[in-house]
Amino acid sequence: MNKTFGPYRRLRQRSREIAFVSSASELLSWDLETYMPPKGLDFRAEQLAYLSGQAHRLWTAKTVGAWIAACEQQGFASDSPEAANVREWRRGYDRATKLPAALVEKFERTRALAREAWREARQRSEFGTFRPHLEKLLDLNRQKADCLGFQESPYDALLDGYEPGTRASQLRTLFQELRPAIGAILGAALERSAAVPKDLLQGHYPLAAQQAFNREVAAAIGFDFEAGRVDATTHPFCSTAGPGDCRLTTRYRETDFTYSLYSILHESGHGLYEQGLPAEHFGTPLGSAASLGIHESQSRLWENHIARHPAFWEHWHPIACRHFPELKALAPAQLTAAVNRVTPSFIRTEADQVTYDLHIILRFEIEVEMLEGRLAVADLPAYWNEAFEKMIGLKVTKDAEGCLQDIHWSLGDLGYFPTYTLGNLNAAQLMARAQTECPGLEAGLARGEYNLLLGWLRDKVHRHGLRYPPQELMRLATGEPTSAVHHLLCLRRKFN
């Protein structure tokens, strides 16, 4: 290879070195959420802080900036893999060098301790236990935003880390379109759902049977269990330690098998994306997801567009009956109606397809209020309860069903929630395009054959990694940037 590629080779090597450190942190975080003994928390927090600081120092070294500048001067072809990596290395370097290593370490240490405080607070439904931790994380996020810089809102600096190029003002415009449109759909959806008993699927579903059925479904849609596993935790997530090691987690309810099933389908969507990224590019932007809005599109697509379709239960009903004999009393159409039932609920992860985005809008508005200093953490529960009743129509009576229900704030992930709605929009848009471009797709899905859809997603989304920014990727995959049109059309067709 030409000597002029030397800086590029060194950058790729440094990027992979940082990925090794980060993957060790990822594995330690997964262990913290699943199997770590309680007394290991303080030491684990120090481990994670140390590793995050090491990764940060490796990336922000002045030599890295010099290598990036040399690559930019080299002038790689604009459509080349090298140019994409250099573009993203520049973006990451410019953000990282604005953050002091001490702040990065303190943030990681604080959120490790906050996770356990949140878990305890949620179990007790006692916000006071978590409050001081959230106050620290809010302050640290404000410090990060100040370091990163912003023009309109500190929210923009944080959001840019999850969904590059998106701003809070754009989200406000989007949500102003979505909120009334959802309200217009909701009435008819509630009326249709009223005929479906809310306890239709209530029964006794042994844990072992749920685990077996979930695994069978996840494997059928393409999740590779030779390169992944499933464990239980308080809040479901997908974690990737590296090529060939993708970890899914879920939680179970023995009275309702769909509680864990749709959680696994959601996390399997994330896992399919991770397993579809090019392993040869691990540690570089080309081996990374395009954005969280793209990542969420994969989980929401499998969870909602595939697994809530009538064809899904026509195929899976007899198999489900083998695992859960009491389902023999129900027809596939009844299962489909039950999993598509629309009714306002307290818990976001259990929300129906119509009201789900209202949960996201609420969290977005609260995060902006906190970051911009108009809402104190001490006032969060009361503010949440009032806003939730106004938005969703339910009166919150306990913190576990209110402001403590999601793990994200304990992770310091302010700016994350809007990517769920962006994921909904992207999922509907991608599904609509796949149906146009893949003759025989519907017939295959009815037979429980998912290779055609997964292959299309591999080609249009997974294999590119971060070669394209998220909106460019959506244009290439669907012919248009992300919009609410397909999502709302899908909801109207299903529920109106």
The radius of gyration of the chain from alpha carbons, rounded to an integer in Å, stands at: 23
Q: Residue 45 and residue 437: Cα distance in Å, rounded?
A: 48
Q: Residue 398 and residue 453: Cα distance in Å, rounded?
A: 42
* Residue 267 falls in the annotated catalytic set: yes
Q: Catalytic: which of 116, 163, 267, 367?
A: 267
Q: Residue 244 and residue 224: Cα distance in Å, rounded?
A: 9
Evaluate the CA torsion angle 363, 367, 370, 373 in order and state its sign: negative
Q: What is the 3-state secondary structure (H, E, C) of the chain?
A: CCHHHHHHHHHHHHHHHHHHHHHHHHHHHHHHHHCCCHHHHHHHHHHHHHHHHHHHHHHHCHHHHHHHHHHHHHCCCCCCHHHHHHHHHHHHHHHHCCCCHHHHHHHHHHHHHHHHHHHHHHHHCCHHHHHHHHHHHHHHHHHHHHHHCCCCCHHHHHHCCCCCCCCHHHHHHHHHHHHHHHHHHHHHHHHHHCCCCCCCCCCCCCHHHHHHHHHHHHHHHCCCCCCEEEEECCCCCEEEEECCEEEEEECCCCCCCHHHHHHHHHHHHHHHHHHHCCHHHCCCHHHCCCCHHHHHHHHHHHHHHHCCCHHHHHHHHHHHHHHCHHHHHCCHHHHHHHHCCCCCCCCHHHCCCCCHHHHHHHHHHHHHHHHCCCCCHHHHHHHHHHHHHHHHCCCCCCHHHCCCCCCHHHHCCCCCCHHHHHHHHHHHHHHHHHHHHCCCHHHHHHCCCCHHHHHHHHHHCHHHCCCCCHHHHHHHHHCCCCCCHHHHHHHHHHHC
| Residue 247, strand partner residues | 229, 239
Q: Which of 232, 317, 308 is nearest to 265 (CA)?
A: 308
AA identity, residue 170? Q
Q: Residue 455 and residue 471: Cα distance in Å, rounded?
A: 21
Cβ–Cβ < 8 Å for 300, 424: yes
Joined tokens for residue 92: 């990451």
Catalytic positions are 267
